Every structure is written in structure tokens, then in C-alpha cells.
Structure 1
């Protein structure tokens, strides 16, 4: 029933495992040979069936059981190295065992000599003993789960049988039939398994290795299961007379219908097996199996006389009359009547206390999922969990069941438990930086709806991209909540104000208020602009965008020059010297008529600083 595709070959799973080839298919999926690129080694990669991978309950249970199995370390146990998910694939990475399954060994070589059968059973029981000591019950011991290679006997799929419910098996009668052939009576009747259930299954494997036949063959799972509960376990020597009586007794004890009559666990069974093997001679252990020869049909043989037979032959009487087809009709009629009685009995059992019987569904609404599943299963019914949203029921509790509490339900049908996932909420996707079209699709895909779409300037988001949403990305909302979208028009344009001639502080405040940044060039002297005022700006006008920069040049005031002493000099020399230094010169004559033609005073004291270009007055007498 594998639903995994052959196209997996060549695919890389979880960016780690390169699938190289197909190994086998089973009830849970398909097994492939894969290269673990991280550790550069080959592994067996089990890919779960797609229908199981979609079942959230199964995936959660599978993770728990895989982790439990991974903790089990033993030479006779196939090691679990990794488990995970990749898109739609749920996978399990395991140790790759090169060899044959026990199923292939039985088909090709059985019946096996007692020594070989006991040796293989010894390895199986060692693996089960390690599991039982760790608190694990296999629940699905069958030939397909036993591998025989160069490294000996190894058992696989520990813990996974718990992950697969009856619901997941009923879709494939072959899978269920294969599992049913090794189910213990208590698993059939009550759906419960413990260490003694694994012992029962291991005993059936030993029987099959010794005889090459199933202990309870059948054409349907119900027929096989019925035999486990009500049938009589045959002895291996019935099929293969060379099987020693002590081995017959060992198989009978392991497969006792009452669990209390079996060894308590795999360790006890292993000790009994080794004791039996030690008591056998090499000849008995290595004797070639001799299967019983089927008796010929009645019309091809003469009935032999056996000791104790009630059949008598008269010496004087007429010879027996040859049997004809007409004489056999009564026998056929009797067989048919007996068959009808058996079928009727089985049918009556099946539709009453058997698997087709009806059981009232217990009340589990409001209970935690685990408690509810256990309650329904203890009532003798199967479960199927569906995850649903609920505004009122706490996450993980049962919202409703089908059928409802108190309704009758056949044991073969599943009770649907609808378990709350909590309120239905969806996260608003992160849309900043996306185009409007992409944002609309993402909102719709998130089970929300598009609200208003507006445009606004945004200094950090390019034009045409989403700048913000209300509610914001990542917030949890009810389905259908409107999400308002703001699309960026890019940076906002700003008219550059003219701040030349303004004091530095005023200019900076004016530019900052317009959303522009202010930078400064080197300060310059200016004869016309006061110190601390703006001489120039770049750009001087036009439009910028918010956040753009305007550079200002601030005045250091005029150039200052040291005034020389000109007192005592002639008016011409004084004027020439002052003008050469950049000063303006004004001449006054206090006495109205000059007498000495000599500078007797200057308006700026010698040695002091005066702005270049300023006027200095000299007094000439």
C-alpha cells in the first residue's frame, strides 16, 4: 500500500539524505537506501505513507515513539539515528542492515534445523529482552521486522507499532492480515499488549521457522484473529516430526492462550530456550527437518487398520463395495452442515462479543485527548482523532464525538474524536517591502481579508512597496479580519529654505524642522557677514527629500589686522602704511592750519587689532 513515489530516488531528504535505491514497502511506508551526507555513511530511510504523514495524531505519536526507540541501544536492535519531516515526507533514519528478512529466510529455507531456528530466536529474544528492560513493548513482532545479516540477528521498528493505530491498518487487508498472524489473544480481545504479548509473537516465529508454516493461517484478518482466541495451537512436530519434544513444549509454553501461563518477559523466555537447547544432543539440533507426508485422497488409497480401530472386516462376508461418488454425497452433506455451523458460530460471536459486536460510546467530551482515547479504547472501541478549532473548548480537549455518547458503535468502526486546537487564529503575514499585489495574495492566503489600501510618504521604504499594516505583521487575528495596508510613495520632497545671513542656531533649527539634516563646511572670514551668521548654503534652493543634507558655511567675521604706530610720521607715510595693511585712512587737522605736518594722534591705538578695511583717523598738526 505504499504511497511513496519511486521518484524519491535521487532526491535529497532534509538536505541531508540522498536517496539511492528502493529496499522494501510495508504498512507504514517504504524503505530506501540513502547516503547520510553529514556522516558519509549509508542508512535505511523509512518514508511514511502520505496518508499517515497527513494525520497530525499519528505524526505526534510517531515522534514520541521514535525518540523512545532511539534510546534503545543493543547489538540485536536496529539503531534509530534520526527522525524528522521534509515537506510532505515524515521519515526515520536507521542503521542499514545488509541481508535478508526473516520472512525471506522462512520462504527460502524453512523448515529450519532446530539449532538454526533456536539461534535466530535467541537473537530475537535478546533484542526484546533489552526493550522490556527499558520499559518498551514491541507489539508487532513478525518476520518482516527481523533482519538477518552479516552482523547477526537484528530486530527493527521498536515502538512504531504503538504509533500505528488500528485505523491506519484497516486500509490494507494484506498489512492487517500480516500483523494479525502474530497477534496475541489479549491484543485481539482487548487491544492491550505487554511483555507477554511479545513472547507470544516470538513463539509463533519459532514455530514458523521450525515448520515453514504459519500456526494460524487464514484468508481474512477476522478468521486469523478468531483462531488466536479460540483455536488450538498446533505442535511443530505435527508438521515436522523431527522437531524434538522439548522444543514442542517450549513453543507451547510461549504461545499459551492465557498470558499468565507464558514466560513473564523475553528474558525469561530466553533462559528457557537456552536451557532446552543445552539439553539437546548435536544430532537432535542438526537433524534435517522431515515434513509429514500428506495422506492420499480416499479414492486413491485403502484405509489402513490402526491399533484400537473399531473397524472390523468379516472373514466370511462379502468384500467391501467400492465407494462411488453417489455414496460420498452424505459425507459432503455432513461436512457442509458442519461448516455452516462453524460459520454461524463465528458469525454469532463476531456480531456479539467479537469484533463486529456493538458497544456504547462512553462520554468523553471535555476530557483531554489522551484520557479520551484511553477511555474509548478501554470500552473496546477504536479511535480516530480529528483536529478542529473551537472558541470555547481548551486546546487538547474533546469538543464532540461521532457517534455521540451512549450511542451504539460496532467494534470494527472507529469513534471519531474531534479535539480542540483552540480558537482559530491566523498570524498577519509580514508584508513590509512587498508589492501591493503580493501583499493582497499573502493576506488572502492567511485566511484574512484586505482592508483599506492607502499611500503615504516613507523615508525607509521604496516607492510602490508596503510600508506598514494595521494590524501589524505577526499579530494573531480571527479569520476574516481586515488588514489595512499603507503603500509607500517614497521619501517626501522638501523645499529647501534660504537661511543665508541667519545666525547659525536659527538656520539649523529651520532646516531641521523641514526634515533636513545640517552639515557644516569650514568657517570663512567675511567682511559683510557677522561672525556666527551663515555666509552660504548648499544647495541654496530647490527640492530635497526628508533626511537629505544641507551644508552651511558660517562666518568667522572680518580679517583682524594689528594697527601700527604712525604718530610722529608724516601724513603721507602714515596713510600709505595704513592703506597697505588694508585700512581706510581719514585725515583731520585739529589746528586748522598745519604747522609741523606731522601725525600727532591716531584713532586706534598702535598694537591693537582692527578689522581689515575699517577706517583709522589720523590727526595732523
Structure 2
């Protein structure tokens, strides 16, 4: 009868916050549960590391990888990356809290057979877009496989498990003695030299695409070491070798992703995604909708079961099992002009002496000497064979011992943990106690104080020779820069160039100014000549020239009133020659330029034309005319007429004749002319 094992974590409250509801999947490193976050009231995935992995020699390496997954995911913010919310330790329980994705993984989907071409390209694009986000911040995933691609019920595609992710600067020359990763998706450079970069993830996506199109990895049924050998020495088979109807464009796409030379692949996931889009545009709808038949292939002994433990359904979160390939199996021989990679397997010697099963039935080669002579010959042969066998065994033991201490595990130790964040002298002392030398590289760092260790090469937990050295990258503290002087009053471009040549990032803010020409620096956000952090953004306030204004209406105002109104808008005043006007009083604005409502700039000039009063016209000479004649003549000339008698009208007139007039000559049109009649 089958026994049922109860998971002791089911129903447990982790860290006083996460209530475990169900087990989702179990892998070689951790178990993933669905849990309820009581604090935020949401469903989460809780990844709990197996407690026994924290013990022993490799415990620090496992814990480091577990925590690195949290740090790597925290640096990413992309809808295609499974978010890690929290990381912590509850007693002996190390855990990660992640986004819970309702659905399954790509491995479960592939159990049902190959995907349609269009769907395979869609998944590839979404995976590459998520990896591009990692590549942009300098991270390489290093473990892209179907188990780490989650397919949500809502149609989402998400990449999970950044447990093997490392910064590009760390993984290009790692000194680990074991190659970790799922071998079917490992790029040749990881196997041969343990170096990796963004092109390494592109290789894995190429294998993933081939598998989605054909339903199988390129070398099904072969052991891990055989697959690794193929990846180093052979080009991967084209998908059309298994599915003949697949178009050559897909073969070329997979080949470009999986070429053995990483320099010939797309430089990163973003470039690879563009290549997928270009190929997809060439395929018709019928091809995109077509799906290959499921392959009939042997199941390899080291292939991970897509179901969970105890017959659980395929997980909506990935298994974290990896293939460990001893790095000592691979070497690189460097010639003067090229490099050849070899798979080296330690030889096994076995010799057997011939066994005599009965008397010879063949003819005798000489006279019989009897059984005594034959016995001596057999004894001598047996002794000789024994001596040779002992010598071979001793040679093999000696060679094995030499290999153990010169190139094998006996020649290596691991870089201790806890070196980062401590003073460099303390780190030197720790390495010295383990027989390791230390070299120092100094580098500015924004967060680690000066004199403390930023990182090590190799990293903590990685292998290093017993007599080797560890490079300590030591912080010089925050890099400080000196702000250039004489920026205020300089041309905008000259000031910006001076700051950027120094290493600052600049921003420009405009401000109106009546006196500074456009483009002239008015102010700087930090003091000139001061020391500032290298990441300080320096803002230059630059003149946009005088501010724009709308010209007001001043026609009909006196000149003084117009000047005052215009000055309130920052405008200056100029005058044209006055012009006569019968309607507008003298000294009043007849006309302005620019006119009311037009746009001008402060300090611009508005030209005013003032009225000089009515026009001057000739006054008719009416002396000697009668009162009626004089009045008619003056009125026709545009004047008003006033009649006056002798002595102001005190004396009666002796006649009706105009004796005098005022004014004579020229006078303003419409003015009054007085005539004296007596």
C-alpha cells in the first residue's frame, strides 16, 4: 500500500505573515508553495530552500544563489519577469516571496506536443523581451529553460528563477569548478570556459525555440556529458531535420541564435527579439498556424520529470534542478592563432591475463618436455603478468593522485563568504588564514564606504586554487567632481560642454530676462568650484531673452499716459512726427506701431504718432465786406464767426461794413474769427 507523506509546512505561518496553503512544486533546491500574504491580503508564491542545503561545504554557495535570485529579480521591473517581493529567514527556513502566476510552465505545454509556429514565435519574443530587461541592467539569466517560462491563464508569458543570474562583469570569467545549468540549453562558452554574457541567454532561447517547433531538444536521449560534448564541437541540428515542412527562415533563425561562436549571435536579447520579428513578417498565416506532430523519442535518464513530486501536476513555477558538469572535464589549448577545445575524460586501465581452459589441441611446435617444463613457463608468465599489472595499477594510482592534487578537487578550495562589506585589511587576513593571496583593485562606489570590499573575483563560494589569489575590489567611496567656474554669463553650449566634459549630467531650464541675451547662463544649481558627487545633475538656468507681451491699446491717450501704460508692459516708447487732426486734440495719440493685440517682447519699442491739432488754413480777408458777406465767406472756409461792434458794441454801428477781423493770415480750421462792424 502506498504511504502518504504530509508536508510539515502546509498550514504553517512563515515569518508571522505568509500562510502556506498548498504545495505547487518541489525541486532539487527548494519547494514552492502557494501562500496567502496576511499583511497585504494577496496570493503569493513562497519558495522555501531545503534546510539541509545550508549545511556542509556547499551550504554558503546554495544560500548565496538563493539570495542572489532575490537581488537579481529586485533589479528588474518588467511585466515579463516574475517579481520577487521579499526575501527572509524564519528560523532555519530561507524563503523568497514571489508573484504567483496562475497557469503552468512551458514544459507542461510541451508535454502535449510542439507549439504552432506562430505561438512558438510569440513565446520566444516575450521571453526575449523579458531577458532584454535583464541585459539592459547588466544581468545574464544563465538558466533559460521551459521550466522557467511560465504561461499564465491570462495569456501572459513570464520568465522566472534568476537563481543563477549574475552581473555580466562577474560571469564572463567565473572560476567555478562545476558548470551549473540545464545542459540541453547551455551555450558552448559556458561549458568550455565557464564564460557567459547576454549571447549565452540568446543561445538558450534558440534551443527553446527549436524545442517548441519540433517537440524535442536537439539531442534527446543522450546523457548530459554527451550533450555538452555536442554543444562544444557540433552545430545544433536544424529544426527542419525533424520537421521537414518548416521553412528555411526558421532554420536560419535558430542557427543564428545557437552558433557556437558567441560573437556571431545577436549581441543581446533585444537584438534577438528584432530578428524574430523580422522572420515572423516573412511567414504566411498558414505556416504560422501549423503545428508539427509530436515526436516519438526515448526519454533520457537525466531528463527532469515535468510533473511535481508525488504525482503532482506540472508546476506553475519552475523547478530549480540543474545539471552539474565537472569543469575539469573540459580544457582549452591555445595555439598561436587559434584555440581548440577538447573534452578530456580520465582514462581507465583494465588488463586481463589469458585464461587457459584446457590442453592445446593444435600441433606441437617442438618436442615434448613434460609437465615440469610447461609449469615453469606458465609460472614465469604469471609472474610477469602480475608485475605488469601492479606497475599499471601503481601508475594509475600515481596519475590519479597527481590529477587530484594538481588539477582535481584536491587542488582547489572555495572563496570564503563574508568578504564583501568589510575593511580590506580584514578581508586580506581572512584570505591569508586560508592560504590564499589577495590582490586589490580600487574602484569608486556610491554605496560602499571607502576602504571596504565591494566584491571579489572569484565570487564567494566559487572555486579557486589552493595556492591561488582572490581579487578584492575595494571601494574608493563616492567619486567626487569639481564644478567648473565662470559658468554664469557663459554661452549655454559652452557651459554644458564644460560640465559634461568634467563628468556631470546636465539639465537646462529656461528663464526670461530683459538684459541677458538668449542662450546666456543666468544661474547654476550648485556653487561653481565646489566638490559634488559624480551623479549630481547640474541644472543650468539659461536666458530665453525678454518675455513675450501683448501690446496694449494707447490710441486716444495723451503721450504721457501712453508712455506710462507701455512701460508697465516693459515696452519702450518712440515718437513719429505729429500729424494734424480736426477730431483729435493736440498731444493725443493718433496711431501706434505695433498695434493693439500684437505680440512683442519686453524692451521692444512702440512708436506713437501724436495729433498736432486741427490743420492750419488761410483766413479770408473780409474787411470792407458787409456783415452777411463776411460771415458767409468765413463759414465757407471752415471758421466760426463772431461779430463785434464798435468799442465792444457800446457804440451803435454807423454802417454795416467790416472794419477789422481777428485773426488774419492762417488759423486752425474750425477756430473762431472775430469781425468788427461799425
Q: Compute the TM-score of the two structures, normalised by the length of structure 1.
A: 0.48
Q: Compute the TM-score of the two structures, normalised by the length of structure 2.
A: 0.44
Larger RCO (alpha carbons 8 Å, 6+ apart): 2
